Amino acid sequence: MDMKPYNPLDKMSLGASVADALLGSPVHPLGGLKPFNGAGIYVIYYSGKFKPYGLLSAKNFGGVFKTPIYVGKAVPPGARKGNFGLEADPGPALHNRLSEHAESINSAENLKLEDFFCRFLVVDDIWIPLGESLLIAQFSPIWNKLVDGFGNHDPGKGRYNQMRSKWDTIHPGRTWALKCAERLDTVDQIFAEIKAMIV
């Protein structure tokens, strides 16, 4: 049997070390984070009483926080133009992204911000996409894999003919999302998909 030798500098090993560092970091309430600078990766946990997420919430009961509902990243402003690894000043990119998520949850009619917690890690920008990808592959968070749209922004005037996301369908409240076209699948259908996914 051929065994591939362990390479501690292999990109997957390095990415895994970033993910492990994040999962070993402190848990914070998502609401009211103090400002800080840096870009990086994060996970968000839910521990509330929204019935379709009951099994997921139970996994995070008592401050254990085993299973995130969402995994995300915040990159430096120039990263989307191909400037990863060029030491661009990220400013408060990670804090701003988490604050945007807190605002989205606050807008939802059936969610409470105090039920959400997060871990975050400021990371050298070159490792951010890999760290995020590995965490999504590890946990398959329902807001990444099934209930899409949590991280969406207002598409702007002239683009409201696009379909409303699953997230905004089952968590109404963001005013701009109400302007988007309704989905063909119903709330009950989405709930059934959630039930089948969370085991």
Residue 56 lies in a domain: yes
Residue 157 lies in a domain: no
Residue 43 lies in a domain: yes
Q: What is the pLDDT of residue 8?
A: 62
Residue 178 lies in a domain: no
Angle between helices 11-23 and 128-139 (to 10 degrees): 70
Total residues found in the chain within this entry: 199
Which SS3 state, helix, strand or coil, does residue 89 take? Answer: coil
Which SS3 state, helix, strand or coil, does residue 103 take? Answer: helix
pLDDT in tens, the chain (199 residues): 667 776 666 666 766 788 899 999 999 999 989 999 999 999 999 999 999 999 999 999 888 899 999 999 999 876 555 555 556 678 999 999 999 999 999 999 999 999 999 999 999 888 899 899 999 999 999 999 999 999 999 988 778 889 999 999 999 999 999 999 999 999 999 999 999 998 7
By residue range, what is the domain housing residue 109?
A: 11-147
Nearest to 71 by CA among 147, 143, 169, 125: 143
Residues sharing a CB contact under 8 Å with residue 177, sequence separation 6 or more, in sequence order: 149, 152, 164, 165, 168
Angle, alpha carbons 101-104-107 (nearest 5°) = 150
Residue 81 lies in a domain: yes
Q: What is the pLDDT of residue 157?
A: 79
pTM: 0.90
Q: What is the pLDDT of residue 86?
A: 56
Residue 95 lies in a domain: yes
Nearest to 21 by CA among 168, 149, 130: 130
State how many domains the chain has. 1
